[in-house]
Amino acid sequence: MNYKKMDKILFIIPPYAKFDSFVNPDFNEGTITKGSRQYRSVATDMPIGLLSLSAYLKKYTAVEIKLIDFNILLNKMESFEYGSFVELFSDFLSTKEWIDYAPSIIGISILFTPSYQNMLDIARCCRDIFPSAIIVAGGGVPTNMYKEIFRDSTSFDALCYGEGEKPFLGLVKANNKFEYLEHNPSWITRKKVENGQPLQHDFIEDLDEIPFYDYDLLNTDEYGLNPTISTFALFDNKKHLFHVATSRGCPYRCSFCASHSVHGRKMRYHSISRVREDFKRLQEQYGAKTIVFQDDHFVADKQRALKIINIVKELKMTGFFQSGLALYALDRKTLEALKSIGLDQLVLSVESGSDRVLKEIMHKPLDLSIVKRVIADCHQLGIASDVTILIGLPGETKQDIEDTRAFLKTLDATWFRINIATPLVGSEMLDICIKNNYLKGSYIGCDFKDAVIETEDFTTEYIKEKAYSLNLELNFVGNSDLRLGNYEKALKGFENTIRVKSDHAFAYYFAAKCYKMMNLDEKYLAYKAKYQELIEKSAFWKNYANQFNLVALG
């Protein structure tokens, strides 16, 4: 008889931050308090890649699957006594629960490089604790950094190239798994890398082949604690939200983006009827109220996008587009449709306030006249605009950044996210940086907050300081709602800043101003006192208060 033992799979998500950054958060990072100390807070968005893999595997074969998300664990821990993440990984993975589970395949998911070292450490712990398990990893990092991973680690049996549904199913079904890993071109092994063998994506063309995501793999309540959405300045309905992707792929070629390396450039979709079915099920079975879309290019087909917005409306739910929406597609009709589902905040990926940078450096399909029009429409429709900006790209000059500053000041946008250009593995920008020797620090681990690109035009220190002062200038000193007398709305942004960064002197100062204008004297006095306390004890804040001529509160 040909008896095949059912595979037990363990998916693991490493912490999204490096250990040092977790225990010593930088001044521009969100924090959480544990005991008497501040730690960096890590995002806890639902890992839909793994939910998709799990659903797919369970549909087409018999498997048992469990998942550990170290980000959930870190946020939940009331105190943190470990001297390194390795100690945490080793302790946690050797508990009775996991020893008894005894996974036969361990799959580590790693989408971005801040988790690089954590991924290697987890794999090493797994190798020690579960010596007979097959250990693999997938996501954007293995897809682009397989050479480095095999150089830095001996723990992996194989790495997945691109999307994992089909390759993982093949692995589970294979009678001889090691032979399968060597023969399937979507699995990368050490031997293949040494021999320079070609690798190949194995995409699912019709996304409906993937069943309803396996949300039961998670304790969904825990994912409401600190999802990325809660860092958006005006968002206050953070409960009952569920992450989805109704499409994969994006045809554009933005120089800073790496998404195509995993998902390709061709758009692939779920059918409208499937989208309706899934949203209904999320609502009925899980009580979902907000759908968080992770699509790279949701508005690629505008008619389809409008149909999906209508489904959300019919179901009386609301939506959020965390990765932003392409501005050129946001005509008045689409914005009105979005408003009709209660969406009162939009992330707008503007990226630069310089036409030259947009066109010549970023290759982004956008010009500033569209930006002006969309933000004015949002303003009229009562949709708050959360504008993302990137500075410090190779080829950008100080004058370009100044042009960006001047342009952004003319917009009545609600909030600006000023990010520092990060050379992502798999992006054209990284190739440019390597070719021109522009990397001052390691690109492994940087996450839009640290500057590592230094060119003939600027230093890393200049970009880091510029990003922070632009943030203070646009969001606080020149805050459009404060300027226009919308004190309650302005306050939301300031209060949210205080929630994620409790020592933000500018947030206290400008919140105090709002309270004063709203005649809430008690609040005004409390915020004023807190501002003064912070300014007195911090040279950092005193310096910025002088730079922006903040006059003493009366």
Residues found near ligand B12 in the complex (CB under 6 A): 13, 16-17, 43, 45, 47-50, 52-53, 107, 109, 111-114, 136-140, 144, 160, 163-165, 168, 228, 245, 257-259, 262-263, 294, 296, 323, 424-426, 447-448
CA distances from 373 to 316, 335, 367, 380 (A): 29, 12, 11, 11
Token pair belonging to 352: 């630069």
252 binds, among ligand SF4, ligand B12, none (CB under 5 to 8 A by kind): ligand SF4
Please, which residue, 418 or 490, has the CB nearer to ligand B12?
418
Please, which residue, 390 or 474, has the CB nearer to ligand SF4?
390
In whole angstroms, how close is the CB of 393 to ligand B12 at the nearest point? 14
In whole angstroms, how close is the CB of 29 to ligand B12 at the nearest point? 9
Residue 144 interacts with ligand SF4 (CB under 6 A)? no
Residue 254 interacts with ligand SF4 (CB under 6 A)? yes
Token pair belonging to 201: 């994506």
DSSP state of 232: S
In whole angstroms, how close is the CB of 335 to ligand SF4 at the nearest point? 19
Please, which residue, 427 or 497, has the CB nearer to ligand SF4?
427
Pair type for strands 37-40 and 63-69: unpaired
Q: Give the three-class secondary structure for 527.
A: helix
297 binds, among ligand SF4, ligand B12, none (CB under 5 to 8 A by kind): ligand SF4
Site for ligand SF4 in 272-331 (CB under 6 A): 296-297
The residues pairing with 346 across neighbouring beta strands, listed in sequence order, are: 385
In whole angstroms, how close is the CB of 46 to ligand B12 at the nearest point? 7
Contact 101, 45 (CB under 8 A): no
State in Å, rounded, how far the first CA of the chain is from the last one: 86
538 binds, among ligand B12, ligand SF4, none (CB under 5 to 8 A by kind): none
Please, which residue, 25 or 324, has the CB nearer to ligand SF4?
324
Residue 346 interacts with ligand SF4 (CB under 6 A)? no
Please state the φ and ψ torsions of residue 362, each to the nearest 5 degrees. Answer: -90, -20
Please give the full DSSP string across 461-495, using - where no structure is assigned: HHHHHHHHHHHHIIIIIT-HHHHTT-HHHHHHHHH
Please, which residue, 296 or 377, has the CB nearer to ligand SF4?
296
Name the amino acid, one letter, at 96: K
Query: Beta-carbon neighbour count of residue 140 at 10 Å?
Result: 22
How many residues bind ligand SF4 (CB under 6 A)? The answer is 7
Contact 509, 490 (CB under 8 A): no
Please, which residue, 162 or 482, has the CB nearer to ligand B12?
162
What is the Cα–Cα distance from 333 to 342, expressed in whole angstroms? Answer: 15
Name the residues that contact ligand SF4, by CB under 6 A: 250, 252, 254, 257, 259, 296-297
